[in-house]
């Protein structure tokens, strides 16, 4: 399966308008944002766990990165309430589920093959810092290496925000919204900009809070091939 698999194109998906699609596990449903592959895939997905649902134990050969949007995600390593950011590197193993139910943004098979760094961040307990070079914007760093920069940003009401990165970028609205290229983005709206693409966004009157990743799309298909080799 290939969905939004051309990383040289701008893509916008308003996931809150999409139906939930059942996964192979009862009680676990998905809204797909991009995907290359079948059940084992390079994928960006919003996943909803019904109360008391879970996946069977499995290993993430290509790594897993997720942000809890609602509820509490759980596995044998702990409980992760809304706002938790987790990186499970390649070769990591767990049994995910949720007693109360949850919704997460999850990215699979998007790690460097030899990355072995685990991360657990409670973004609700981590302060934002004003960005001195961008008025009206505050950032909460999550992860950074030579290839990618992952963060949460908070945009003030009506802020005009330049967007773009030589290595591409993607954004998911967590709260509030923004307008870009005549299109309105609300919670669960996802925008992916290809490498070198530049544009600007204007935050809604109530402002906007977003998950963002940049720098990682220039070598997306090559990374997938290397990880599967």
Asked if the structure places residue 223 within a domain, the reply is: no
153 with 74, same domain: the answer is no
Q: Which sign does the torsion angle of CA 14, 17, 18, 22 carry?
A: positive
pLDDT, residue 221, reads 53
Alpha-carbon torsion, ordered 36, 40, 45, 49, to 10 deg: 160
66 with 151, same domain: the answer is no
Asked if the structure places residue 9 within a domain, the reply is: no
Asked if the structure places residue 154 within a domain, the reply is: yes
Domain boundary, last residue among 71, 87, 122 = 122
pLDDT, residue 219, reads 76
139 with 75, same domain: the answer is no
145 with 111, same domain: the answer is no
pLDDT, residue 226, reads 45
Closest C-alpha to 176, from 166, 184, 165: 184
143 with 155, same domain: the answer is yes
113 with 136, same domain: the answer is no
169 with 208, same domain: the answer is yes
91 with 161, same domain: the answer is no
Q: For position 111, which CATH number holds?
A: 2.60.120.10
- Based on the structure, what is the number of domains in the chain? 2
- Cβ count within 10 A of residue 228: 13
pLDDT, residue 88, reads 94
Asked if the structure places residue 44 within a domain, the reply is: yes
Give the strand pairing for 189-193 and 169-180: antiparallel
- Report pTM: 0.94
Which pLDDT tens digits describe the chain residue by residue (229 residues)?
Answer: 999 999 999 999 999 999 999 999 999 999 999 999 987 789 999 999 999 999 888 888 889 999 999 999 999 989 999 999 999 999 999 999 999 999 999 999 998 888 899 999 999 999 999 999 899 999 999 999 999 999 999 999 999 999 999 999 999 999 999 999 999 999 999 999 999 999 999 999 999 999 999 999 987 755 545 444 4
**8 A C-beta contact, residue 188 and residue 174:** no
CA 118-124-129 angle, to 5 degrees, is 90
31 with 64, same domain: the answer is yes
**8 A C-beta contact, residue 98 and residue 73:** yes
Work out the end-to-end distance of the chain between its first and last CA atoms, rounded to an integer number of angstroms.
19
Structural domain for 204, as ranges: 125-214
190 with 131, same domain: the answer is yes
């Amino acid at each position: 399966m290939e969905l939004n698999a051309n990383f040289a194109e701008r893509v916008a998906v308003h996931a809150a308008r999409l139906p939930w699609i059942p996964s192979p596990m009862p009680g676990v449903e998905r809204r797909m944002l991009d995907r290359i592959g079948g059940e084992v895939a390079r994928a960006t997905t919003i996943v909803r766990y019904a109360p008391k649902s879970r996946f069977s134990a499995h290993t993430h050969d290509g790594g897993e990165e997720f942000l809890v949007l609602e509820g509490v995600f759980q596995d044998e390593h702990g409980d992760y309430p809304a706002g938790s950011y987790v990186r499970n590197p390649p070769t990591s193993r767990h049994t995910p589920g949720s007693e109360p139910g949850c919704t997460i943004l999850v990215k699979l098979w998007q790690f460097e093959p030899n990355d072995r760094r685990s991360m657990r961040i409670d973004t609700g307990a981590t302060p934002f810092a004003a960005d001195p070079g961008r008025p009206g914007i505050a950032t909460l760093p999550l992860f950074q290496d030579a290839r990618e920069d992952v963060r949460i940003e908070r945009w003030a009401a009506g802020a005009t925000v330049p967007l773009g990165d030589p290595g591409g970028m993607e954004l998911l609205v967590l709260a509030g919204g923004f307008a870009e290229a005549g299109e309105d983005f609300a919670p669960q709206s996802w925008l992916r900009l290809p490498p070198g693409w530049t544009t600007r966004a204007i935050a809604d009157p109530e402002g906007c809070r977003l998950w963002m990743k940049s720098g990682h799309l220039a070598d997306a298909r090559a990374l997938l091939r290397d990880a599967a080799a």
